[in-house]
């Protein structure tokens, strides 16, 4: 039963259930003072210090499941950005990023993302040969590790010819 008011006999006690709501709170320690009012003339208000610890974990959400790069010429490069949102109540720590093919390189990435914030991972596609490329980018972090697919295509660079061969 919820007790908001009542009578306690002299030299007796009464347990009161206090509930804390952690919804929308970030991981951390929260303190506040609960004021208990009474008709005791010596102590009409008794402060009770309350400490509430919220623990949780990060939750990772990605803007894309695949990064599909534009078709480019061999030896050229193009970049794309993967947005990573942390919907959890604790910081998301990115330990490492691994692209399975050297044609794809992570050129910029945060080491951590705060709760309810977004970070950007920039990936560059630089094909050393012509043809189709596909790989995965794996994010190793303190949330479940996750991967996105990577793909791109490289054409041979243009060639120029002069006709006639001499003037």
Q: Given pLDDT bands bounded at 50, 70 and 90, which one contains residue 167? A: low
Does residue 33 contact residue 47 with C-beta atoms inside 8 Å? yes
Query: What mean pLDDT is predicted for residues 122-135?
Result: 97
**DSSP label at 153?**
E
Rounded to two decimals, what is the model's pTM?
A: 0.74
Band the pLDDT of 1: cuts 50, 70, 90.
very low
Whole-number average pLDDT of the chain? 91
Residue 106: strand, helix, or coil: strand
Which of the residue ranges 4-18, 33-47, 68-82 would you say has the lowest mean pLDDT? 4-18
pLDDT at 109 over 50: yes
Q: Please compute the mean of the pLDDT values over residues 98-118 and round it to a whole number.
A: 96
Closest by CA to 143, choosing from 61, 72, 29, 33, is: 61
Q: Dihedral of CA 103/107/109/111: which sign? A: positive
Report the pLDDT value the prediction gives residue 18, as an integer from 0 to 100: 84
pLDDT above 90: percentage of residues in the chain: 65
* pLDDT > 90? residue 37: no
Q: How far apart (Å, rounded) are the C-alpha atoms in residues 118 and 121?
A: 10
Q: Are 97 and 148 in contact (CB under 8 A)?
A: no
**Band of residue 115 on the pLDDT scale cut at 50, 70, 90:** very high
Mean pLDDT along residues 2-6: 70
């Amino acid at each position: 039963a919820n007790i908001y008011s009542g009578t306690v006999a002299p030299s007796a006690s009464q347990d009161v259930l206090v509930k804390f709501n952690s919804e929308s709170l970030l991981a951390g320690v929260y303190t506040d003072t609960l004021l208990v009012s009474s008709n005791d003339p010596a102590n009409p208000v008794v402060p009770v210090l309350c400490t509430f610890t919220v623990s949780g974990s990060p939750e990772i959400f990605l803007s894309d499941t695949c990064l599909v790069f534009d078709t480019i010429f061999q030896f050229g490069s193009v970049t794309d950005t993967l947005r990573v949102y942390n919907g959890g109540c604790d910081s998301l720590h990115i330990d490492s990023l691994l692209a399975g093919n050297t044609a794809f390189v992570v050129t910029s990435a945060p080491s951590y993302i705060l709760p309810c914030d977004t970070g950007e991972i920039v990936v560059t596609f630089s094909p050393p040969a012509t043809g189709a490329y596909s790989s995965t980018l794996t994010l190793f972090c303190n949330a479940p590790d996750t991967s996105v697919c990577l793909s791109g295509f490289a054409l041979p660079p243009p060639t120029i010819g002069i006709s006639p061969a001499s003037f």
